[in-house]
Structure 1
């Protein structure tokens, strides 16, 4: 068992710093004491001595280098973890993602790289505070485990290996030792994952009903059951009394010739009689527990009317009888008359529904469905959430898709709509919602045979009290006119772009190979002297308030940044594809970036995108680069949108801003190496992005409108894994050679 580390009410945090470079320790101690005077730093260059000091001194955190002569920082962390729980931070200038992964496996709490800029010591000070605070929270969690009124046990092989004090009390024992290696629930059912009720008899003869909730966990490297239980005796007795009352209620209403049902105040059906099942054809399993909005016997278009009646009754307002059309299980429809009332059963308020069939008296009424289906125009009905609730046969004939592929799906998610059409639809709905009027639009769609057609659509809102309850869309085929226009334009544009693209690739590849060699040589020769000059300049500025030192430091900072950017964008890049989710890729990229307060970030990720074969690290760099460009394009603030969706076996990731946009002339050059419009840019950011995307057999494109913003689209193949994972584009292979 590890010794408990008490760190509550810490005023001074004692840090043991282990590093084979005393000069770096001197800088670390000076900067950390300036940033946080409450950090007391002790130094040693001997890892073995550091382990001994942990037994004789009180430290709250260890900061260790990775590459040391006697042992590595990871080896040191492994030895410390054998006897101590003290937080450990690996602080190194020679790390990598593989080193970081091994460090965390060895028990390291945090990992930070040594940087050239002295400001990174602020990050180190903050990380020290964070790991110490985290340890304090872990201790607090242990205290809560003992103070809770819930019994908590951990079972392995049906025997208790851990129990808290509340478990001892609930099981009527005197000491935890009486529970260890025992099983208080002999029936194996009650130690399996899930929720249970167990009647437990104490040694004194008292009967208790225990509520049990079990979950599978991993405890000390082995499978175990995490069991939480509580005294549910009173609740159990109340359930029995309620059941008795319900049985009496059922006996009364089963004799009624009308359909009778009850709903709780949240709209879920709690009971119905046999007459109700006879009326609709649905069984108890298909009705009980279903919300009023999901009952198959009710038409979607009538839900607003039902919900308003429910709300009126709950407010105590009288509800008149209501006629309604309902669906039977066999697919037929009937007309019913219903009465609603608020009742109270065993202190619980519920809504009582009494319904009778009046279909015969309504046979002569106009059948809206017949008119809807016989229309020569394609008709689509949506609810207020833009989900499709009805279509006519003209739509299925025009698109080739069956009715089942439309119903209950959002309009813009249907496969008939192209990427372009989805954006057009979203903009059109915004106009309709704002103006409450009909909006016409032309949509490119793809029918079931993958034939592209064009439809002229009119979106008309269904209004009640100036509120939109749904939408009706009328569509007509205008393909012939559109196809003629598009064919001629696409042929010319394709030939022009192909010639221009091939010419640029030849020039750009030669420039990037030369730039990569130059960047490697410059980085090797200048990095160490720049680091020394920067540290000395910073120390001099602390003693002498000379404006020339400030100017000098600015020039050093600019040189370091320029060198780093030049190296990153021109060095040889190889991809290592593995299966990753697009959702995690976007979340990590956004989490890495520190956005200004005037930037609003909007994420829209299609939930069912399957995993793709990508180099997650390289593509995350691409997204961070694009996010940075978007933020820089909005100095006065704006909206940054990140979207991901699947279209035609391609994953489309988009980064959009509302900045000043890019002119058409510049838009054609932004992916060329060394092309930039920034005063201090080097013009390699978007060139790097294109190389990484093309290495994944993908494409990257830019869409911009001056004054309105820019969108960068990344198109990656779905479920494609190359035979050789280093199958890079011609530039990548040439640069590697």
Structure 2
């Protein structure tokens, strides 16, 4: 069966009466007789004797056969009729339906009664002139009708119950709301026999439908109207059964429509179906919520540079983000492997805290160590992690692993450059120290002879000579200061610098 999907209209096609109906309890009795007076009197007195009996009068076998599928509880038939006698009619009825058949005649005898019972008649009542005999007939009808209805309802209930049991996995395994709806409507049609049914979801207390699927008459019910449980109401041309759904997230209900009233067996089965459907809808909604959260989480995880790793408490990898490809691994290659398998042997001691946190539940610190990538290359990583603890038990550990190989390479290059610079500085200091000492010897000679000239021959020199000698002495002093400064500079690299807080 195909169902149309409708987005909520609040305009009901059928108006509900204010009367909330219980399941129908009247017993339907078909009475066939070729005499109109007999039909009239029988209907009048029998229904007066027992108001729970509803007499449907027919005059021909064809009319009677047309009514067999309308929920008949008992048949009362005359014996002698123009087209067929009561015993032949009984055989015809019994070949179609196992409905109690009472022979009701004024021309009977013991021979006729015995033949009637052999033909399958369930009871035999003689017509009497005294109207009081209708009370006897009513009691007989009621007794057979009750037994028949009980057996029929038990049989129908068992068939439906088995059908409901069989479809439990069908509805429970639905993965989407539309899937739940379609499967539910199929169950209402194929198992419960409701060819006209509908699935409703409403989003507020006013009863505005947000989802309607099925072919039942449109209704507009508020949430308050659903609090009374399963109810049956009369429409303009039939009856509707309203079954609230037990759901946590949204409001909803099922409706089934048919021309005749619903009976007692409909209620418990529909209640069971409503519980099942409600659970299925709750599960689908929860899965949708979880899926949306998971999708959002994956979008975040799959678009960050860090490699996100989920490990089980024993250390095996449960999930690793696609960014693991920066280490030349496909995520599927690492699932179920131990994270420690990637760590180089010399650095295994640096992940001891990681395994300890997997057991203790303590948040880990940031560790730096080396792993071997899928291409055989060595990568430096920065590893931080946090255990997920539920009820005091570590369920998994979430790690963020960042590739810091580039940083380590820069650091190594920097350290190498610093070493080279220190060597150059040492060589320069040594050179400066040596040169400074080597320059002092000739300078001392120049200064000594200049002093001799100044002391012994200053008066002999003319004015120009004296100026020349004075220039030599000044230049010598400048040269000495320069050499002393060079010596001081050469000692800077040899002195430990002390820093003080200011």
Task: State the TM-score, normalizing by the size of structure 1.
Answer: 0.20
Query: Which structure has greater strand proportion?
Result: 1
| Larger radius of gyration between Structure 1 and Structure 2 | 2
Query: Which structure has greater helix proportion?
Result: 2
Higher relative contact order at CA 8 Å, sep ≥6: structure 1 or structure 2?
Answer: 2
Task: State the TM-score, normalizing by the size of structure 2.
Answer: 0.27
